[in-house]
Chains A and B, each alone.
Chain A
Amino acid sequence: MATPARLLRAGMILAVVLGGQFLLAAAAPVLTWWWGRNAGYVLAVGYLTGAGLLISQRPVLLADQAVTISWPWLPSLGVYAELRMDALSLIFALLVLGVGASVMAYCPRYLSPDSRHTRVYVTMTLFAGAMLGLVLADDLLLLFAFWELSSILSFVLIGQDGRPQARGPAIQALVVTTTGGVALLVAVVVLTASLGTSDLHLILADPGRLATGPAWAAGALVIFAAVTKSAQVPFHFWLPGAMVALTPVSAYLHAATLVKAGIYLLMRFSALFGGQWPWDLTLIGLGLLTAIVGALLALRQHDLKALLAYSTVSQLGLLVSVIGVGTPASDAAAILYTIAHALFKATLFMLVGIIDRQAGSRDIRALSGLWRAMPITVTLTVLAAMSLAGLPPTIGFVGKEAIFEALVTVDEVPWLGWIAAGLAVLAATLTFAYAARLVHGVLSGPTRQRELYEPAWSFLAPAAVAAVLATALGPAVAFLSPMVERAASDARPQGQAPYLAFWHGFTPALGLSVLTVLLGTLLFWYRRRTDPVLAAIPTTSPFTGHLERWRRALVRLGAVVARPAQVTAPAPYLARPLLAVVALAAVAALLLGPLPARHPDATRPGDWLVFGLLLVTLAGLVTTRSALAAVALTGAVGLILAIWFLATGAPDVALTLMLVEVLTTVVVMLALRGRPGRLVAPGRRVGIIAGIGLAVLAGVAATAATAALTGRRDLSPVGAWYLREASSATGGQNLVNTILVDFRALDTFGEAVVLAVVAVGLIGFARPAEAVRHRPDAVRHAVDPVLELAYRVLAPVMLAASAVLFLRGHQELGGGFIAALLAGTAVGLGHLAHPAGAPLLGRLRGAPLLTVGLLLALVAGMAPLAVGRAFLTPVKLPLPGVGSVSSALLFDLGVYLMVLALVVAAVRRLDSAPAGPAPGPVRERDR
């Protein structure tokens, strides 16, 4: 028994190994910078060190304990980043690191010497880290994170910086695996929610807690995830496609690690879902189907890499089916065969890579008689192929025997065991046949290539080690036995797995093995006859073609969806919100219950006068085609409303409205000058009718909303407060102005900032050159004596009135804004009289006014902070020479300047372009 302290130390080892993997990845650029492609050796040592550290915990695991460590990750959800290593994890971790080390050691000789391959090394090492994390994760969320990380990194590895032939397969692989990943995420969500924890170990420890509904869903989703990742039918198409990757990458990803993630997942979740017939039968059925389909497809390949890829599909299918059996023996068989497959498949990939490099081809038909030139390579290939074919004495043989034995015991349905075993034999037969073709391809025939040599030992060594292990571990399988048994019970705590042995005696499984060899030999022998049959098998999954078609359809659909956002005219963009408003009003009208009564005195006879005038004006406005009429009628609307505001007790509003109308007219004039005075045609009849319809609906909605939601209550508490207190609180008599300057100064500040921004916009737009170019002569003649006189006489009056309105604003009609508008009209008049720049007022510039105004308002607003009061609190400020001045007054002055800045900027900048028929001197026409 390990003490807690020891376990803690052991837990740290997990963190160290996993973290070390990522550190290695971070260090890889440095390593490749130093050693170039040879950095792989250093990395391999790193991998092996990690493996060694993990193996050092073997005693703990064999003592039926697990090594764990955890940090809080999302504490509020009870999610911990928890690592946990039991025997099952250890075996997978060792495969990851061990095969990883050999691939790393293989890379330096495989990769070209002329570049550093930093990205390959970094990504591979990160990928190994992700896989390691996946098998060590003891939290669903963490497991999922590593699962998807491995998908992303494999995408990067397959994609190889976007070589043309790699793009499609990489994207395909990522799409398929992340689709599965999303399914896994949903499973994680479902499991976490229904079990109240995301702790994998806790969830697996008590499978009974899971309710049936979620169990079905989660189980199906987990299978889906595993099937996509392990390239099972019908998602098998992405794996052969991914063979465009570098051979070492293929060796690692598609033999030992990535695809095994699915296997690991199924094994892990066996404890939760295993023993339920839907789970079991799905796995068995799907697995065997994949095994046969994969093997058939492998059999018809000529490219060795493609052959190996389909072979992987097939072998993984076999594994999946065995996991579905769900006995201790079957679990042990699955684990053993996982090890076996990793060893021989990695070997084969590496050897194919060597052959490809040396012989310049990996097409069976092009290779011939290699054994004379490269005896060691060929020997190793044969050994690995024997393992693949399940021939003694290899570990492949032991594994396959165990699989047959396990499948026979299936008993959910009578005879199912034998049917399953029969199908497995069929798959194994096909496997034997393509293994034979592989061997035959490299062995037979004359040596065609002239300059064919055995590769350097350093190139061969990694493959050799793996090949020897794959062979030697067959007889020595007992060495693996304790760990495999432990792992089997970790996967599914349901009793002791049988002791693994090389020789089982004369069992049915042995008979099946013999049968396999016999049938396989026949199949190989009559390969000329079977070839046409094989060639007729479609290579692709039903998805391959459809996937692209679906993607295209999606893009087309997307283009349709995006179309409304390409229209140029603003009208459609405005119609939808308006319709939404109308719809809201309609729904409200239907659902809103009785309302309080409207105040009877809310309408006076004079109002109808205003309404009638308004109606006439608006009718003219919507029908006219004269720009001037439209502008003038809009001005008339403003004046009519000003009367209404007067009649309803809002003189400040009326005054402001009047000034704004005048200034707006001036600005419109500046903006439209020199343009034809016609509005564009109102458009097609359908559009007009639709416009009228929407306009009427909106009008009705607005009327209804106003009628229903206003005028049904008495004075608001805020309003009452102002009427009662505002005057004494501020010393001002004009309540509206006190609200603007004191109580809601922040609004006023905001509004002034808006104007300031518009001024900045106007100033920012104009190109000075343009402004200057057209000025001088357009203008010298244009000084009109009458306007000039008006300017001289009236501008001072306007400015004086502005000053009066500003200073008395707190008490009576007026205030900073109104005053500034009046000053603005003086500026406007100045511009009309002297387009080149009026004396005095023509010197005003927007930018300085703006800056000073903004600063003044801000400083006045912040002054109270100095005496511990809140922002924008009116306080008395000392002013040398005058005594004191209210900060509110300074604030209002700031607002005044900003408003004036806008008018100045508008007048100066809107007119900076060449105008059309500018008012010039009239010349007499000689008659």
Chain B
Amino acid sequence: MSGPLIVGVLVAAGVFLLLRPGQLRLVLGFVLLGHAVNVLLLAAGGLHRREPPADGGGSESADPLPQAFILTAIVITFGITVYLLRLLRRASRRGSRPPETWDGGPR
């Protein structure tokens, strides 16, 4: 059950951050959700096989495909995170908001 629980707490924390005001929270919330999906993908391959996948691996070799999925997903999430941060940078540069809140949410 550890896999599902890890997914669950990551999702809960991620969702909470998404729903709170502030753009940095939004970015970090998505980072957490991305982690959650990665754990889920690995769980989808089956967590009872835990050897790093290797040629002709035995009954303990993990399914390599979800790992490849995760790597692709991590990269995409990273790219989008960078983009979101860029948006954040823009937003904060537009000025006109009180200096206290560089990540302006609804006011």
Residue numbers of A with Cβ under 8 A of B are: 567-571, 574-575, 578, 599-604, 607-608, 610-611, 614-615, 618, 621-622, 627, 630-631, 634, 637-638, 641, 644-645, 647-653, 656-657, 660, 663-664, 667-668, 670-672, 675-676, 678-683, 687-688, 690-692, 694-696, 698-704, 706-707, 709-711, 713-716, 718-719, 722-724, 726-728, 733, 735-736, 739-740, 744, 747-748, 750-752, 754-755, 757-758, 761-762, 765, 817, 899, 902, 906, 909-910, 913
**In the complex the two chains form, is A664's CB within 8 Å of B78's CB?**
yes
**B18-61 interface bits toward A, Cβ cutoff 8 Å, 1 = contact, 0 = none:** 11111011111001100110111011111111111111110001
Partner of A711, one of B46, B57, B103: B46
Return 20 A-B CB contacts under 8 Å, by A number: A578-B15, A604-B2, A627-B24, A637-B32, A648-B47, A649-B52, A651-B52, A663-B78, A671-B86, A681-B21, A682-B21, A695-B13, A723-B56, A723-B57, A736-B68, A739-B68, A757-B79, A902-B79, A910-B82, A910-B89
**In the complex the two chains form, is A680's CB within 8 Å of B40's CB?**
no
- CB-defined contacts of B83 to chain A, threshold 8 Å: 758, 761-762
Q: Please classify the interface of chain A as helix (H, G, I), strand (E, B), loop, or mixed, using the class held by over half of its residues.
A: helix
- CB-defined contacts of A688 to chain B, threshold 8 Å: 20
User: Smallest Cβ distance from B20 to chain A, in angstroms?
Assistant: 5
Bound Cα distance A910, B27 (Å): 16
**In the complex the two chains form, is A817's CB within 8 Å of B85's CB?**
no
**In the complex the two chains form, is A702's CB within 8 Å of B85's CB?**
no
Bound Cα distance A713, B3 (Å): 15
**In the complex the two chains form, is B80's CB within 8 Å of A758's CB?**
yes
Closest 9 CB pairs of A and B: A699-B12, A703-B8, A719-B63, A607-B2, A727-B55, A675-B102, A695-B16, A569-B106, A706-B4
- CB-defined contacts of B2 to chain A, threshold 8 Å: 603-604, 607-608, 610-611
Bound Cα distance A667, B31 (Å): 13
**In the complex the two chains form, is A727's CB within 8 Å of B56's CB?**
yes
User: Smallest Cβ distance from B49 to chain A, in angstroms?
Assistant: 7
CB closest chain-B residue, reference A673: B89
CB closest chain-A residue, reference B100: A676
Bound Cα distance A608, B4 (Å): 12
**In the complex the two chains form, is A650's CB within 8 Å of B70's CB?**
yes
- CB-defined contacts of A675 to chain B, threshold 8 Å: 92, 102
Partner of A649, one of B17, B51, B99, B101: B51
Bound Cα distance A709, B44 (Å): 8
Bound Cα distance A663, B72 (Å): 17
**In the complex the two chains form, is B72's CB within 8 Å of A644's CB?**
no
Bound Cα distance A621, B33 (Å): 14
Bound Cα distance A614, B5 (Å): 10
Bound Cα distance A569, B103 (Å): 12
Partner of A735, one of B4, B50, B53, B76: B53
**Most chain A Cβ neighbours within 10 Å, of B16, B44, B102:** B16
- CB-defined contacts of B26 to chain A, threshold 8 Å: 570
Given A644-B39, A671-B89, A691-B19, also A754-B106 (CB < 8 A): no
Given A719-B45, A758-B82, also A703-B4 (CB < 8 A): yes
Given A676-B99, A694-B15, also A667-B72 (CB < 8 A): no
**In the complex the two chains form, is B7's CB within 8 Å of A638's CB?**
no
- CB-defined contacts of A754 to chain B, threshold 8 Å: 75-76, 79-80
- CB-defined contacts of A817 to chain B, threshold 8 Å: 71, 75
**In the complex the two chains form, is A711's CB within 8 Å of B22's CB?**
no
CB closest chain-A residue, reference B73: A751
- CB-defined contacts of A704 to chain B, threshold 8 Å: 4
- CB-defined contacts of B78 to chain A, threshold 8 Å: 660, 663-664, 755
Partner of A571, one of B21, B51, B67, B89: B21
Bound Cα distance A651, B70 (Å): 12
User: Smallest Cβ distance from A850 to chain B, in angstroms?
Assistant: 13
**In the complex the two chains form, is B15's CB within 8 Å of A680's CB?**
no
**In the complex the two chains form, is A680's CB within 8 Å of B21's CB?**
yes
**In the complex the two chains form, is B19's CB within 8 Å of A695's CB?**
yes
**In the complex the two chains form, is A711's CB within 8 Å of B53's CB?**
no
**In the complex the two chains form, is B46's CB within 8 Å of A713's CB?**
yes
Bound Cα distance A608, B70 (Å): 22
